[in-house]
Amino acid sequence: NLQNRIDAELIKEAEILLNECAKISIIPHSGPDGDAIGSSLALHQYLIKKGKQAQIISPSAYPVFLKWLPGNSDVWIYTNGKKKAEEYINSSDLIFIVDHNSFKRSGDLEGVLEKATAKKIMIDHHPEPEQIVDLMFSDTQMCSTCEMMYEFIEALGDEDMIDESISECIYTGIITDTGGLSYNSSQPRTYQVVGSLLAKGIDKSKIHSNIYDNFSPDRMKLLGHCLDQGLEVLSEFNTAIITLTKEDLVRFNYRDGDTEGFVNYPLSIQGMLVSVIFIEKDDVVKISFRSKGDVPINRVARDYFKGGGHMNAAGGRTEKSLKDAIDQFKQVLPEFYKSL
Ligand code: 5GP
Ligand code: MN
């Protein structure tokens, strides 16, 4: 399928909403990743080109390896200036909900968005979208919201407005959501989109280097530590667990984003189908889940750890202690496998 995949009827409605509005808020999910920030920045630059007033308001901060992106300095972080952000949202006549599909994922902006009276458009690729918007672009077949953003702009007839800068943002989300086009990226159309982005003049090696060669020595040591001391392999369940304690984070001078990608490493152990990382934060244990093939690990995230996500990549949290969280996961695991 090499055609644009945006629904033609829906895009007509989007066109009407865009024509009618003047002031637009763009909201990525809380704890935004490359896809959330990339798609927000791409949309923002496109809307500015269209002559709109638009503002990205991120519910929370994001890691340094995303701060080189073009337009980054235009992003407001809600927690750094709540009043200004709320005023902007409440005086907007259109709100884009980007890379998430439930206000629960909007973090501290949940209540503000629930009450906001502006028309809302969702652009997202996660399963189980909630009916919280006027116009929903939701497609789990897309590898990333960034890929969808390309399709969205193209469907509006504006492919020629996608310049090098917008292309960099879109490419970033495509590679960060697919592990550099290694998983969740088997559709031919994705490569047609990537081809178009390359034709816009992006420097692929520079982008990869900005994202992946930007770590501190401490981050490298933290990774070494958790793969050495924190790894447990549950062979009978084809599952690996890695654990990071609060003390580990302090010892290796943890910065936002340092643990990004750690959870993927154990999947390269022969036979592993599931990898889980437990990270002990101040009052919560954050959990990331990854799986291979048709193992729906997002079910475990959703049913036991207040989270969700894609079949092969999900996240959640618990207020339990680190030990209790891991024990609970180990308890749930046999049942989960039986249910498949
Ligand atoms: P990560 O492990 O990288 O934080 O997240 C992996 C995937 O799971 C992402 O696509 C993200 O959107 C989703 N995800 C992470 N945390 C949550 C959560 O608390 N709730 C839901 N519904 N999805 C999550
Ligand atoms: Mn995404």
DSSP code per residue over 33-51: -HHHHHHHHHHHHHHHHTT
Ligand 2 centroid from CA 283, angstroms? 26
Q: For 297-305, which contacts have Cβ atoms below 8 Å and span 24 or more sequence positions?
A: 298/127, 299/336, 300/329, 300/332, 300/336, 304/328, 304/329, 304/332
Q: Predicted ipTM?
A: 0.96
Task: Locate the ligand 1 atom nearest the alpha carbon of residue 306 and give its number.
Answer: 19
| Tens-digit pLDDT profile for residues 80-129 | 999 999 999 999 999 999 999 999 999 999 999 999 999 999 999 999 99
165-187: pLDDT as tens digits: 999 999 999 999 999 999 999 99
The chain-wide mean pLDDT, for the chain, equals: 97
Q: Which atom of ligand 1 is nearest to the CA of 263?
A: 2
- Strand duo 308-309 + 119-124: pairing: unpaired
How many residues are listed for the chain in this entry?
Answer: 340
Q: Mean pLDDT across the stretch 258-284?
A: 97
pLDDT at 318: 98
How far does CA 71 lie from the centroid of its chain?
Answer: 18
For residue 37, how far is its CA from the centre of ligand 2 (angstroms)?
A: 9
Model confidence pLDDT, tens digit, residues 239-249: 999 999 999 99
The H or E element that residue 226 is part of is: helix 217-228
Residue 149 is given by DSSP the state: H
State the ligand closest to the CA atom of 279.
Answer: 1
For 257, the 3-state DSSP assignment is coil
Segment 152-160 mean pLDDT = 98
d(CA 140, CA 143): 8
Residues having CB closer than 6 A to ligand 1 are 105, 126, 288, 307-310, 313-316
Percent of the chain with pLDDT over 90: 99
Q: Which of 27, 29, 30, 33 to mutate to test the pocket of ligand 1 (most atoms within 8 A of CB)?
A: 33
Pick the closest to residue 316 from 292, 332, 334 (CA basis): 332
Both tokens of 159, joined, read 């492919």
- How many angstroms separate the CA atoms of 11 and 155, rounded? 7
In this structure, how many other beta carbons lie within 10 angstroms of the beta carbon of residue 148? 28
d(CA 173, CA 161): 18
Count of C-beta atoms within a 10 Å radius of residue 293 = 8
Average pLDDT over residues 283-304: 97
CA of 159: how far to CAs of 272, 293, 295, in Å?
41, 34, 37
* Per-residue pLDDT, 1: 64
Mutual orientation of helices 145-155 and 164-177 as an angle, nearest 10°?
Answer: 140
235 Cβ contact list (under 8 Å, min separation 6)? 271
- Taking the centre of ligand 1 as the mean of its atom positions, its distance from the CA of residue 158, in whole angstroms, is 31
Taking the CA of 98 as reference, the closest ligand is 2
pLDDT band (50, 70, 90) for residue 188? very high
- Give the atom of ligand 1 at the shortest distance from the alpha carbon of 33: 3
Q: What's the N-to-C CA distance of the chain in angstroms?
A: 30
